[in-house]
Amino acid sequence: MKNKFTAAALIALFSFFSLPQSEAADVPLLTWERGKEQNIVLGGQSVSNTWKIYLVGNKSTILEFKASKVNSSGFVVYSISVPSDLPVGAYTIETVGKNSPRTVVAGVRLVKLMYYTISQIPQSLIFLLVVAAFLTSTFSTLRGRKYSEYTYLRSHTFAEDDVDGIRSIPRLLRRVYRIRRNSLRGIKESFLRFNLETSGQMLHKFSPTLWALSPVVGVVLGLAVAWETQAAAGIPNTPFFILAAVAIFGVLDSYAAIVALASFTFFQVITGYVSSLRDLMAVIALGIGWFGPGLISNLYLIIGGKDFGSLAPKISDSIKRTINVCGGALLGGSVFMASQVLTESLAVRTGADGGRMIIIATAIAAVIIAKGWYEPHLDHLRLTKPGHQLLEVDTFTLKRVISPLASVLIFVMTAILVYVWTSSLQVSGVAAVVTLVPFALLLVRFSKPRISFLAKIPRQVLAESIVVCVATLGVFEVIQTLPYEVNQKSELFLLIGFVPAFVHAIYSALHDIVEKNGEAIA
């Protein structure tokens, strides 16, 4: 059900505005799902009469509809976001106009959310796009010379000829250790490999044996989640501790979380639970919540120190690290929540309980903070006390932020995702192109135009990403005031909501030109 007034509803409204109160007993009855935005369209004399519309229950005003701007035909769209926790039951829609009595124009039967149609839930849509804009602008900024080289402490990985190191691992697990070590080395040197290696460093520093066993644990957790989700008929009924365990586990070792996703997907496919491309994308979206928070928080912990370099010399290292760790924790929790929203939008039917997911996201943030604070102490222990495994100073040079294959995958998945949301080839195609451009620009470098004044503006990942997010929110707020129904506003936002990230990507490409000529400051 579209849950909006059609032309017939408009006729009914206008009719009831002219009827006495006693004749409004036969008002139309609407069925609305809570958690979605609902719309009423008024026009003609009702606009000049400044009508106010309320959703009323138990003889008390519950919520007031917000009026849009007046369109060229003189119509106004009144909108209301029905809270997801509003009690189900009977409500009425009442109008109050200037010099007009309060009039009941419709009845509403409010039911629980049955279909998660993200185009009718703008709060979820804007949350997804803000997180996506933040991450996209981060990648665009990383092309800057300032972020091209990283130095970090890494735990010494035992080689075949390192007899003493290998002997510190139980004999039965040495082969497992070699497989884990060689599997990472088998990945082509890239930004992804660097992030995967550094994400699991704390675990290796703590115990090489646990580091070797981590992917094995990932396989077990992936199969356990797959089994429980099928036995419980979906994520909502899956035991809370299993979902929390695999998500928190991914913070400690993102590589093992990817292994967990692979085993989870394999089990779902061979048992027939995944039978379409849409099902597969829903599974991948769920898995992003397992490895994404660890990778993203680890990335910000590494690059954050560069943002607090010459611009904040008087800030102590502990305060700088606190800001980086807490920022990474907030972003990690947000990535997890975004993956859950993404999963529900692909599954259509209502998914996991929001309260449970918030608890898990909070737990993820807490573990990220604990990890961020514990690892420096572990490094200090390894460096100052004899008899512990060696630490090595390693350097990574970022040659390319993203690969062409990854850009193509982003384009294809965005097109499919938006089509699932809107059923519009035109909207999905345009949205996919707008999303692709920031990543495509990362694959090329230009020699002109050279805009000299950009050399005076230092690059700052966090600051620039926040500005892009604020601009994205601004676009959303402007669209919300337009005289369109919720589905139309969602489509428009999908078309232009990513424009701030698009503009930022162009800015980053122009800034790269002056950096290439050695003009920019760090």
Domains and CATH numbers, the chain: 7-111 (2.60.40.1930), 117-147+403-522 (no CATH)
At residue 59 the predicted structure's pLDDT band, cuts being 50, 70 and 90, is: low
Counts of helices then strands in the chain (DSSP H, E): 18, 10
Query: Of the candidates 142, 20, 115, which has an alpha carbon nearest to the alpha carbon of residue 509?
Result: 142
Q: Which of 183-187, 217-221, 449-453, 516-520 has the lowest mean pLDDT?
A: 516-520
Tell me the average pLDDT across 57-72: 83
Integer Cα distance of 329 and 365 in angstroms: 4
Whether the pLDDT of residue 334 is over 90: the answer is yes
Q: Is residue 52 exposed (0-12), middle (13-18) or buried (19+ Cβ within 10 Å)?
A: middle
Percent of the chain with pLDDT over 90: 35
- The DSSP output letter for 489 is H
The 3-class SS string of 139-160 reads HHHCCCHHHCEEEEEEECCCCC
Integer Cα distance of 201 and 186 in angstroms: 17
- Please state the φ and ψ torsions of residue 120, each to the nearest 5 degrees: -110, 10
For residue 84, the surrounding DSSP H or E stretch is: none
Tell me the average pLDDT across 256-270: 92
If you average pLDDT over every residue of the chain, what do you get? 82
Q: Tell me which of 301 and 318 has the higher pLDDT.
A: 301
Say what the pLDDT of residue 24 is.
44
Query: Of the candidates 240, 254, 461, 449, which has an alpha carbon nearest to the alpha carbon of residue 357?
Result: 240
Q: Cβ neighbours of residue 201 under 8 Å, at least 6 residues apart?
A: 152, 153, 154, 155, 375
Whether the pLDDT of residue 20 is over 60: the answer is no
- For 458, the token pair is 């230092």
- For 331, the token pair is 């972003």
Query: Of the candidates 459, 443, 461, which has an alpha carbon nearest to the alpha carbon of residue 402?
Result: 443
β-strands 149-155, 391-397: how paired?
A: antiparallel
Half-sphere exposure of 345 (CA within 13 A, CB side): 26
For residue 190, the SS3 value is coil
How many angstroms from the chain centroid is the CA of residue 149?
Answer: 27
The string of pLDDT tens digits covering residues 164-191 is: 455 667 777 778 888 888 887 778 888 8
Say what the pLDDT of residue 49 is.
54
